[in-house]
Amino acid sequence: MKELSVVIVAGGKGLRMESTLPKQYLMLHVKPILVWTIEHLYDAIGDTVDTEFILVRPKADEAFVSEIMSLHLKKGIELKYADGGSQRAESVRNGLELATGAFVMIHDGVRPFVSKELLYRIWDARTNGAVVPAMEPTDSIRILDEERLYRSFPRSDVRLIQTPQLFERDLLVESYRGYFDHPNSSCTDDASIVELYGGLAPTVVEGEEQNIKITTPKDLALANWYLTRK
């Protein structure tokens, strides 16, 4: 058994990227986005915590992903592979089936700039059983109420949730079992599934501005700019 299983979810189609190639495979400078994500996770935590890395990709992309990893991934990084599902929750569940860690960290394959500092903020808060990183919004906030009017809402009471999200493995497995028995569309991430079906609200730690999710051409341009600053 490992201390930590990192499940990297890379099953997106990239519709908002306006590209025929799924966004996780697009080149970011000299490597695909997905490879940057895996390498940054490994460099940040893989050598200090007993960790396994599980990559969830579409079954149809099996040969293509193997070729990408052979060409671009640093030597010495071992991956387990799981098949993606028709929705993100199915992909996470498939990854969980391979996880042996006492804790599981779920991360978006198109968030390539996760830092060591962020990962250790999350890891150090693990005793609660559920941890998510979050950022306070900088824009003003309005909430659509029952009368279909947009009411002002204090942004200090709002957080924008990121990944990676960390959970005790057994808690996450049981929560997903409950979700698939009785699905609820209000669950938009792993933490909301754990909160609703596992009864545990997550500890929230400070996220990072650079921990962007690349889903649009503008995000990709910003990501290339981040790389020029490194």
Q: Would you state the pLDDT for residue 16? A: 56
pTM flag (> 0.85): yes
Report which residue type is found at 62: E
Cα 49 from Cα 127, distance rounded (Å): 15
Q: Would you state the pLDDT for residue 183? A: 95
Cα 76 from Cα 51, distance rounded (Å): 13
Q: Would you state the pLDDT for residue 140? A: 94
Q: Would you state the pLDDT for residue 228? A: 83
Cα 103 from Cα 166, distance rounded (Å): 7
| Cα 26 versus chain centre, distance | 17
Residues of the chain with pLDDT under 70: 12-19, 230
